[in-house]
Amino acid sequence: MKRRIKKSVIKNGIIFLGALILLIIVVSIIRTIMYHRTDKYKLKQLGYNDEEIKIIETMSSDNIKYILNNDYNELVDDFKNEKYFLDKNLETYLNYQKENSSLSLATIVSIVNVGANNDWYTNTKETDLTKNELILVNKYHYLPQDYEPSDIIDVSLRYAYSDNKTSESILEHYKEMFNAASRDGITLIISSAYRTSEEQEETYNYYLKNKGEDYVKSHASLKRHSEHETGLAFDILTPNYNISNFDKSPAFEWLKNNSYKYGFIMRYPEGKENITGYEYEPWHYRYVGDVAKTIYDENITFDEYYAYYVEG
């Protein structure tokens, strides 16, 4: 009797042990199968190391999917380390880089962020008017057809050539800048400020007729695409200089170093033509308020600022 009980205990023990081992094997097989399905495993197979995987895992699922479907690309890390990297644009950076491999990654990030990887005036959208002094108007953002700033007033001859109007909200800031420049012996004068949509169209057509299509593309704006229609921008000159030599004037030097203190930025700087879509315009200033300091300190354009800090 004792022996039989002993025998059945051993038998049950063996069955239990067998079942346990089987369970362990099944669980480990399932775990292995599950692990092979994880992004981490797939990324490892593609050649990414743990550190890179950690970075990739912070990205959006769309970008992870993109990386998984493409060969190992060390540019992913490099782009991710760029200051103005936007996760949503990774795929476009990589594609644009393939066709523009001579450009620096920083330039590619800037171009793609502002949409300048598209032809000028394509992929356009209506600008967000609720941004007030940060309204973005460029080759990809236009003002609504019926938009007219509500606070346009005349600028007196003390500050501007005749027949100039601007947004009342920025005139005080301009006067402050004007007075500060005066104290430093600099005379600023507004040569062209607010334009209606019709006036902008006339300007555009004038240049198109007289200078041709190539010139107009990088020098003038289509109506509804010009900052002059917002009342927040104007062209500044100084006596004895014109637009062709304004950047040799002491007034330009003064504006370069001081305009941001009053909320103004040079809107189309030299070397940023592929981002702004405009040739260097040392005379064109735009009011953006407090963020002028960030734009000045970081040496970026308003388009880049907007893409990263406002929309990004």
CB of 204: closest distance to Zn ion in angstroms?
12
Site size toward Zn ion (CB under 5 A) is 2
CB of 285: closest distance to Zn ion in angstroms?
8
Q: Which range binds Zn ion by CB under 5 A, 108-116, 199-207, 208-216, 280-288?
A: 280-288
Query: Closer CB to Zn ion, residue 165 or residue 284?
Result: 284
DSSP secondary structure string, 258-296?
HGGGGTEEEEE-TT-HHHHSS--EEEEEEE-GGGHHHHH
Query: Closer CB to Zn ion, residue 52 or residue 281?
Result: 281
Spatial distance between the Cα atoms of 83 and 113, rounded to a whole number of angstroms: 12
Q: Which range binds Zn ion by CB under 5 A, 66-74, 135-143, 206-214, 278-286?
A: 278-286
Query: Closer CB to Zn ion, residue 115 or residue 282?
Result: 282
Query: Closer CB to Zn ion, residue 229 or residue 235?
Result: 235
| Of residues 164, 309, 184, the one with CA closest to residue 233 | 164
In three-state secondary structure terms, 210 is helix
- Residues from 218 through 277 that contact Zn ion (CB under 5 A): 235
Element (H, E) at 170: helix 168-183
- Residues from 42 through 81 that contact Zn ion (CB under 5 A): none
Q: Is 284 in the site for Zn ion (CB under 5 A)?
A: yes
Q: Which range binds Zn ion by CB under 5 A, 18-26, 50-58, 279-287, 300-308?
A: 279-287
DSSP secondary structure string, 18-87?
HHHHHHHHHHHHHHHHHHHTSHHHHHHHHT--HHHHHHHHTS-HHHHHHHHTS---THHHHHHTSTT--G
Partner residues linked to 235 by β-bridges = 192, 284
Closest CB to Zn ion: residue number:
284
CB of 264: closest distance to Zn ion in angstroms?
13
CB of 116: closest distance to Zn ion in angstroms?
19
Element (H, E) at 166: strand 165-167
Query: Closer CB to Zn ion, residue 89 or residue 141?
Result: 141
CB of 279: closest distance to Zn ion in angstroms?
11
Instruction: Look up residue 216 and give its DSSP letter.
Output: H
Instruction: Pull the structure tokens for residue 240.
Output: 């004895």
Partner residues linked to 160 by β-bridges = 190
CB of 307: closest distance to Zn ion in angstroms?
21
CB of 139: closest distance to Zn ion in angstroms?
14
Q: Is 141 in the site for Zn ion (CB under 5 A)?
A: no
Q: Is 195 in the site for Zn ion (CB under 5 A)?
A: no
In three-state secondary structure terms, 189 is strand
Name the site residues for Zn ion (rule: CB under 5 A): 235, 284
